Amino acid sequence: MSSDSYRLELKVSTVHRVRRDVIDIDQSALIMRAEPARRLSHIRPLAAWTFGLCGLALYNWWVLLPLKPGLMRSPNELFSDLEVTGQPFATSMQHADLLAGLLLMAAFLAAGSRAIRGGRREWVAMVIFAASGTFGGVFPEVCADGVSAVCRSMELRFQLPLSQYLHLVAGILEFGAITIALLFAFRRTHDLQTRSAKTYRYLARAAYVAYPILGLAYLLNKLGSIPEAAFFVGFTVIVITELLERTSTQLPEEPRANEEANREYHVSGA
């Protein structure tokens, strides 16, 4: 072998070696850039479930009522009537609503609006639902319209303090927002057979039956706490299903970085 051929072969070998070293460095850089995203992809579901479960525990404070016989004097009484200032444990219930809303909002912010393809609209609705709960805790009712005819009469004549009407608006937004979220989720998954899709379908069918019953109970001021309890259970199932979907679809970023680096390696090697 001539010296010129040897030198040429040595140069080619050196170029290939340098090239491989550069590719290895690029691959390491890609993995290092993906590391924060990978860690975040593990932290966000944990944060979402921590906030979400704590928020739901506070949201469902009403399940503790059987432990205090006499606190709810009639099935016609609404849960918001128990939060009227001056009632036993009213302040604690108001604070529970406030914290529940904040925690559920934090849960959906942690889960992210883009965790589900086509699920951004229902995410916005769920955030409004949580914010409305917080708003209702800040502005409690000033009298029990569910059991007091005088309170209802003054309420209809707009003779009550502003807090009463702000609480009513918060309640309407709370029910409306999560119902809209259910509608969006139902439409998004109507042709799927997943567990989440089936849950949304069952809840949507139940809502068609339950809303007229709730409206009738409110109009007649009879047995309002029973459909309210059923709705709160349904809302809890919606929150859990939404969080399950949003946290189970979040994938670590490191495999994507490795795949991208390997692809670049093969292209460069070619």
Per-residue pLDDT of the chain (270 residues; tens, 9 = 90+): 556 565 556 555 655 564 555 455 555 555 455 455 555 567 889 999 999 999 999 999 999 998 888 888 888 889 999 999 888 899 999 999 999 999 999 999 999 988 888 899 999 999 999 999 999 999 999 999 888 889 999 999 999 999 999 999 999 999 999 999 999 999 999 999 999 999 999 999 999 999 999 999 998 888 899 999 999 999 999 999 999 999 986 544 344 444 444 454 444 444
Instruction: Decide if 38 is inside a domain.
Output: no
Instruction: Decide if 133 is inside a domain.
Output: yes
Domain residues for 240? 46-251
The domain total for the chain is 1
> Residue 111's pLDDT is what?
93
Instruction: Decide if 268 is inside a domain.
Output: no
Instruction: Decide if 66 is inside a domain.
Output: yes
Instruction: Decide if 257 is inside a domain.
Output: no
> Residue 130's pLDDT is what?
97
Instruction: Decide if 219 is inside a domain.
Output: yes
Instruction: Decide if 25 is inside a domain.
Output: no
- The 3-class secondary structure across the chain, one letter per residue, is CCHHHHHHHHHHHHHHHHHHHHHHHHHHHHHHHHHHHHHHHHHHHHHHHHHHHHHHHHHCHHHHHHHCCCCCCCCCCCHHHHHCCCCCCHHHHHHHHHHHHHHHHHHHHHHCCCCCCCCHHHHHHHHHHHHHHHHHHHCCCCCCCCCCHHHHHHHHCCCCCHHHHHHHHHHHHHHHHHHHHHHHHHHHCCCCCCHHHHHHHHHHHHHHHHHHHHHHHHHHCCCCHHHHHHHHHHHHHHHHHHHHHHHHCCCCCHHHHHHHHHHHHHHHHC
